[in-house]
Amino acid sequence: MTAGALIGTVTQGTGGVWRVRMADGTEHDVSLRGRLKKSDTGRRSGGSIRRDTVAAERDRLKLAVGDRVRLEHDVRGRALAIAEILPRTSRLARRAPGGGYGERVLAANVDQVVVVFAAANPEPHPRMLDRFLVIAEANGLPARIVVNKVDLAGPEVAHARFTDYPRAGYPVHFTSARQGDGIEVLRRSLGGRTSVLTGPSGTGKSSLINALYPGLDLRVGELSASVNKGRHTTVGASLHPLPGPEGGFVVDTPGLREVGMWELPVERVDLCYPEIRVHREQCRFADCRHGAEPGCEVRLAVERGEVSVERYESYLKLSQELEEQRRQR
């Protein structure tokens, strides 16, 4: 067997077992090679070499769906295990939930982020949408927005709720996974790339993937259970190869209840709002935070109506939050 034959892509992972898909379509359920896992228990012992090793291993343990890995047979011969994680081209990461320390890599080797909100049920919160977009921007990934369940709100109401986003430069799709609206156009923007669907729970991420690619048959929540009781239907992220000659992958993820910004320096928040980013160079001060500073071009753009007041206030609020977070650390 050639070395290349043992390179695959992680498609799922739960409880330390990872599913790896090889180029020929075969799949293996494997674990990380034991040696990598054990050294993580040495976390508390001192010594710089040890610490470096531990840090390196901890990074390795942040294996995620989408990672390319090299499998190797264990010393005794038979079982395959993950021996190496190949360098990533990109990743989508956020802060660990519950205010905990550390980050969660949601997916690796991603080309675009698809943020799925519902036009209604659950009610969309624009400030939460902004956070999803900021995370995509902070990870250097292009984002598009899907407003699903247009059948519940009607197209006029749905469009009216999201006007700020095409203005900011984001592609916005209006879909109904239930009735099939907008599915064809959305499918065209996914072909040949790796896209991660993210967003709050119950907005229809899994339903959309099923409508886009009926063969995949992902588990979908009951409306009453998943939305009203806040139960999450999708448990772990899963990566699915797309049918058709173009190839590409789509990643389904569990809905996020809160969106933590992982160590996003407050100085960089303005770079994560595209319509603010285009004005910041003209501010009088290079370190302008676009609040009360004189000569702030961003504030003028808001006054001229080029930047929406809501998005500007969203920027100010997020900056303030990150500033407070930094002070507390």
Ligand X SMILES: Nc1nc2c(ncn2[C@@H]2O[C@H](COP(=O)(O)OP(=O)(O)OP(=O)(O)O)[C@@H](O)[C@H]2O)c(=O)[nH]1
Query: Could you list the residues that contact Zn ion (CB under 5 A)?
Result: 283, 288, 290, 296, 298
Q: Taking the complex as a whole, how short is the minimal distance between the CB of residue 189 and ligand X, in angstroms?
A: 18
Contacts of 179 (CB under 8 A, 6+ apart): 151
Question: Which partner, Mg ion, Zn ion, ligand X, none, binds residue 167 by CB below 5 to 8 Å per kind?
Answer: none
Angle formed at CA 65 by CA 63 and CA 70, multiple of 5 degrees? 60
At position 94, the amino acid (one-letter code) is R
Specify the residue, 176 or 319, whose C-beta has the smaller distance to ligand X: 176
Nearest-approach distance from CB 169 to ligand X, in angstroms: 25
Size of the site for ligand X (CB under 6 A): 24
Half-sphere exposure of 4 (CA within 13 A, CB side): 2
Distance CA 190, CA 31 (A): 30
Q: Is 176 in the site for ligand X (CB under 6 A)?
A: yes
Q: Which stretch binds ligand X (CB under 6 A): 173-181, 188-196, 288-296, 312-320?
A: 173-181
Residues 6 or more apart whose Cβ sits within 8 Å of residue 11 = 19, 20, 21, 27, 65, 238, 239, 240
Largest CA-CA distance found in the chain, in angstroms, rounded: 70
Kindly tell me which of 251 and 298 has the beta carbon lying closer to Zn ion. Answer: 298
* CB contact set of 169 (below 8 Å; sequence gap of 6+): 274, 275
In the chain, the N- to C-terminal Cα span, in Å, equals 51
Give min distance, CB of 122 to ligand X, in A.
9
Q: Which does 66 bind (CB under 5 to 8 A by kind): Zn ion, Mg ion, ligand X, none?
A: none
Within residues 204-263, the interface with ligand X by CB under 6 A covers 204-207, 220-223, 226, 232-234, 254-255
Q: Which stretch binds ligand X (CB under 6 A): 35-43, 170-178, 184-192, 296-304?
A: 170-178
CA dist., res. 238 & res. 250, Å (int): 8
Q: Which is nearer to Mg ion, 81 or 259 (CB)?
A: 259
Annotate each residue in 74-103 with x if it binds ligand X (CB under 6 A) or - if it does not, as one string.
Answer: ------------------------------
What is the signed CA dihedral for 218, 224, 228, 230, rounded to 10 degrees?
A: -30
Instruction: Give the footprint of Mg ion on this chain (CB under 5 A).
Output: 205-206, 233-234
Question: By the criterion CB under 6 A, which residues form the site for ligand X?
Answer: 148-149, 151-152, 176-178, 201-207, 220-223, 226, 232-234, 254-255
